Chains A and B, each alone.
Chain A
């Protein structure tokens, strides 16, 4: 009962916050609602016994990415931004696509069958601590995909530096 109650609370709050993020006129206020949204997401992860992901969610998304957002938003011309329309003209098309995805998701979830229980049960994870288990799985079983992901990120970093350098020279 209590877990369902918590889940319902977080689901409702996350939905309301997401709507607030996209409807605010002032972009700085949007970013602040998004900060609250990220904290609610982190609570959701905590609730699933994933404390490492919860902490990383706050550190990376709230602590780094959203601060960069804030930097960009702070440099906007707020007077013009407040007058501009919140949504582009084709928003009804977006709404239809979103609704279609939602309907297909509902059907997909209805036919969802949970797989067999593996080694990583909740008791096992709580005993070994989540961070340790995650590290072991990432660096043994999924080492190759993990390295590919890190390589992609490295390419993105180098690409960003190259682009910034080019502009400086000209």
Chain B
């Protein structure tokens, strides 16, 4: 087998094909698990918010309403697909796909446990920024191509919000990059082991604060869900979408939340990193599994924080939103960079 394949495509061809198959399997596993997580994130959100508002949440479909996400998915899949008259059809079709693809592609650089990452690239964090800026196109285009005033206003709001907060988010992560000395997410997690509690959230408390606020704005979640403010804009940029195209936006938004939670867990909360006395005393495989669970617990905690804020805070006004982004978060993030640099030079000087 090996000789035959090598004979056809040259030496090393067999190994290359095996590598490609392994990567494809990894992609299939990550996408399947992430989409299941996204499905149950909607269920979990409805339960959490229900209980916070003294309701019960979904409980009709299956035990405790556990099959509700599937019922929703099937319902959306069979709904009529409506396209507005005078819509720019190619872009109308393309917009949800861009949005969803940008969200899913970001999953490829996230390390879920030690050594498990689809693409271990050196510029992991920058790749995540690039993909989140691509997602903005899905939003602007959906708003413009629907040929609807609500959608257009929602799209414009959302685009300006995402662009403004992307700067704050990027700057807030610069501190992390400086401490870790790398843009690779795996290296960042490993670098955190030497810090108290194995997290960057303590030395980077300013950066963490800016990141959390910016993450809420980036994913269009309350209290910054201006682009889809129901009382003013119906549903914002995806007002005109129905059926499965709407579902793509919905899935993209929740995948975005999952990715933001994962970035917070990896860059500030220590990722899968376990204390040395645990990794030294348990078998390697058990340490990996524990690391995965430790990472997932942090991700879920951050997701819960998203829901908690949604149930607690009212929506900001648009000018307030912009003022917070440009006049508070960006200066804070810049100050954080200067402070981190000074401390790093000072500490090095002592050693």
Same assembly = yes
Interface contact A64-B91, CB-CB below 8 Å: no
Interface contact B88-A55, CB-CB below 8 Å: no
Interface size of B as a range = 20 to 34
> Which stretch (A5-13, A66-74, A89-97) binds chain B?
A66-74
B123: CB under 8 A from chain A?
yes
| One of A51, A54, A67, A130 near B136 (C-beta < 8 A) | A67
Given A64-B133, A67-B137, also A55-B123 (CB < 8 A): yes
Interface contact B137-A74, CB-CB below 8 Å: no
A68's nearest neighbour on chain B, judged by CB, is: B163
Interface contact A35-B183, CB-CB below 8 Å: no
Interface contact A63-B121, CB-CB below 8 Å: no
Near A by CB (< 8 A), chain B positions 122-170 give 122-123, 126-127, 129-130, 132-134, 136-137, 140-141, 144-145, 152, 156, 159-160, 163, 166, 170
Which residues of B are found within 8 Å of A64, using beta-carbon distances? Answer: 133, 163
Interface contact B91-A58, CB-CB below 8 Å: no
| One of A28, A51, A62, A67 near B91 (C-beta < 8 A) | A28
A129: CB under 8 A from chain B?
yes
A64's nearest neighbour on chain B, judged by CB, is: B163
- Chain A CB within 10 Å — which of B123, B134, B144 has the most? B123
Near B by CB (< 8 A), chain A positions 3-61 give 26, 28-29, 32, 35, 51-52, 54-56, 58-59
Interface contact A67-B133, CB-CB below 8 Å: yes
Which residues of B are found within 8 Å of A130, using beta-carbon distances? Answer: 122
Interface contact B126-A74, CB-CB below 8 Å: no
Dominant secondary structure at the A interface: helix
- What mask results when residues 99 to 123 of chain A are scored 1 for a CB within 8 Å of chain B, else 0? 0000000000000000000000000
Interface contact A131-B136, CB-CB below 8 Å: no
Interface contact A59-B130, CB-CB below 8 Å: yes
Inter-chain CA distance A64–B160, complex, in Å, is 10
| One of A29, A51, A74 near B121 (C-beta < 8 A) | A51
Interface contact A55-B126, CB-CB below 8 Å: yes
Near B by CB (< 8 A), chain A positions 109-157 give 129-131
Shortest beta-carbon distance, B3 to chain A, in Å? 22
- Chain A CB within 10 Å — which of B129, B133, B160 has the most? B133
| One of A28, A52, A62, A67 near B88 (C-beta < 8 A) | A28
B187's nearest neighbour on chain A, judged by CB, is: A129
Which residues of B are found within 8 Å of A51, using beta-carbon distances? Answer: 121-123
Interface contact B136-A63, CB-CB below 8 Å: yes
Interface contact B163-A52, CB-CB below 8 Å: no
Interface contact B126-A52, CB-CB below 8 Å: yes
Which residues of A are found within 8 Å of B152, using beta-carbon distances? Answer: 74
Shortest beta-carbon distance, B92 to chain A, in Å? 12
Which residues of B are found within 8 Å of A67, using beta-carbon distances? Answer: 133, 136-137, 140, 159, 163
Which residues of A are found within 8 Å of B145, using beta-carbon distances? Answer: 28
| One of A28, A52, A62 near B134 (C-beta < 8 A) | A62
Please name 18 pairs of A and B residues whose Cβ atoms are closer than 8 Å in the assembled complex, sorted by A.
A26-B88, A28-B91, A35-B137, A51-B123, A54-B123, A55-B123, A55-B130, A59-B126, A59-B130, A62-B133, A62-B134, A63-B134, A67-B137, A67-B140, A67-B163, A71-B159, A71-B160, A74-B156
Chain A to chain B: the 3 pairs with minimum beta-carbon distance, closest first: A63-B133, A55-B126, A58-B130
Given contacts A56-B126, A63-B132, A63-B136, 16 further A-B pairs with CB under 8 A are: A28-B88, A51-B122, A52-B126, A59-B126, A59-B170, A62-B133, A63-B133, A70-B140, A70-B159, A71-B159, A74-B144, A74-B156, A129-B122, A130-B122, A131-B122, A131-B183
